[in-house]
Amino acid sequence: MSSSENFFRKGSDQQQTTPVVDEQETFRIDLDTLGENEIINIFDEFIKEKRQIVIPIGFPAAGKSLFLSSLMYYAERNSDKKWNGNSLSAYPFEQGNLSRDTMIKYFDDKAAYPVTASGTLDLIGINLKPSSNKLPELKLAFVDLAGEDLRNFRADKRNNLNPKITAIFKACRLTKPIFCLITPYDSRLGHAEENSLFANFLSYISEDKNGFNPLYQQAKYIAVVSQWDKNINAKKEDAESYIKSHRPALHTEIEGRDKHQFAFGEYSVGVLEDTRDRNGQPVVLIRRIANDYPHNFWCSLYKLATNKSLDSKSWLAKLFGY
């Protein structure tokens, strides 16, 4: 085991209700409507206002959008946390804010956010304001891309990479983005294919000729094993040992880094059930919404971005262990 902490331990879940599923709507931004200069201008603004960029990376159906929905739901609905999540609705986050509302609405209805169409993205802005005024506010921009677009990072598919996706990564090169490398516990693509996506992605962002050169070094990484509820050996295994055994390329790449630059963790959005909507389309219902995974992830993200602890205990609490 490395000295990195695993912030994602299992815990209590929320209530169970009977869900109602309605038509699915999305407000995702069409990449075709974004000019490369606009992408650069947007990201330059993030740099100016010290906004932390967070980009989930994973194959289709890895769980990126549900993971993001679960984080947004927790930020909006959980009242026990020691911080507020203030969502942004002004440019460039207008559509992302509508997407965020939809994600929360789906979770309220106990249904999953629709499958992500290739060539689109969600750009969600949220400012995390800790209750303690000793801790700094963390401004965040989440970029949710389609797995279908991300799989073109594979060496044999690079010619198909959407230039707008490349522009987004190039626009990140002067920042320290956090890449959430999301790999599902039980991938239908198999371990070797999953492993190669991450190996290919990491080698691509480190290649000088792509104009990404500083990106690989400057970025921070959270390796997340999603859909952890499918792991019947969850008590005996953790995300790091899973990644070490099944995603060795990913493990080797990030383990060699400074421990302030990466974290490992498990994630589950809750207990899910596959079903169909009123039109007979497949949908996923959320039978129970997990609380501890998003809690632990937010703490991990805050730590990685600020190097400060969001859930630090008072000296009294530490002394008496509560």
Ligand X SMILES: Nc1nc2c(ncn2[C@@H]2O[C@H](COP(=O)(O)OP(=O)(O)OP(=O)(O)O)[C@@H](O)[C@H]2O)c(=O)[nH]1
Interface residues toward ligand X, by CB under 6 A: 58, 60-66, 112, 115-116, 146-147, 226-227, 229-230, 268-269, 272, 284
C-alpha to C-alpha distance for 85 and 72, rounded to whole angstroms? 8
Query: Which of 99/200 has CB closer to Mg ion?
Result: 99
C-alpha to C-alpha distance for 147 and 187, rounded to whole angstroms? 13
Q: Give the ranges where 172-223 is alpha helix by DSSP (H).
A: 191-206, 213-218
Query: Which of 173/198 has CB closer to ligand X?
Result: 198
For residue 243, is it left (φ>0), alpha (ψ between -120 and 50) or beta? alpha
Could you say whether residue 116 binds Mg ion (CB under 5 A)? yes
111 binds, among Mg ion, ligand X, none (CB under 5 to 8 A by kind): none
Q: What is the nearest approach in angstroms of Mg ion to the Cβ of residue 141? A: 17
Q: What is the nearest approach in angstroms of ligand X to the Cβ of residue 116? A: 3
168 binds, among ligand X, Mg ion, none (CB under 5 to 8 A by kind): none
Choice from 4, 52, 65, 187 touching Mg ion (CB under 5 A): 65
Could you say whether residue 70 binds Mg ion (CB under 5 A)? no
Nearest to 126 by CA among 87, 177, 93, 98: 87
DSSP code string of 278-315: TTS-EEEEEEEEBSHHHHHHHHHHHHHHHSS-TTPPPH
Query: Which of 138/195 has CB closer to ligand X?
Result: 195
C-alpha to C-alpha distance for 254 and 266, rounded to whole angstroms? 16
Calculate Rg over the CA atoms of the chain.
19
Q: What is the nearest approach in angstroms of ligand X to the Cβ of residue 294? A: 11
187 binds, among ligand X, Mg ion, none (CB under 5 to 8 A by kind): none
Query: Which of 122/238 has CB closer to Mg ion?
Result: 122
Q: What is the nearest approach in angstroms of ligand X to the Cβ of residue 167? A: 19
Neighbours of 247 (CB within 10 A): 25
Q: What is the nearest approach in angstroms of Mg ion to the Cβ of residue 157? A: 18
Q: What is the nearest approach in angstroms of ligand X to the Cβ of residue 106? A: 11
Query: Which of 158/230 has CB closer to ligand X?
Result: 230
Alpha carbon of 100 to those of 5, 146, 174, 177: distances in Å? 29, 16, 27, 21
Q: What is the nearest approach in angstroms of ligand X to the Cβ of residue 166? A: 18
Kind of pairing between the strands at 270-276 and 282-289: antiparallel
End-to-end CA gap in the chain: 28
Alpha carbon of 242 to those of 112, 171, 263, 265: distances in Å? 26, 32, 14, 10
Query: Which of 269/305 has CB closer to ligand X?
Result: 269
Q: What is the nearest approach in angstroms of Mg ion to the Cβ of residue 68? A: 8
222 binds, among Mg ion, ligand X, none (CB under 5 to 8 A by kind): none
Query: Which of 54/272 has CB closer to ligand X?
Result: 272
Establish how many alpha carbons lie within 13 A of residue 198's alpha carbon, considering only the half-sphere containing its beta carbon.
29
Find the part of the chain contacting Mg ion (CB under 5 A) among 28-36, 57-65, 211-219, 237-245: 57-65
Nearest to 254 by CA among 153, 180, 166: 180
Query: Which of 44/186 has CB closer to ligand X?
Result: 186
265 binds, among Mg ion, ligand X, none (CB under 5 to 8 A by kind): none
Could you say whether residue 196 binds Mg ion (CB under 5 A)? no
Interaction site with Mg ion (CB under 5 A): 64-65, 116
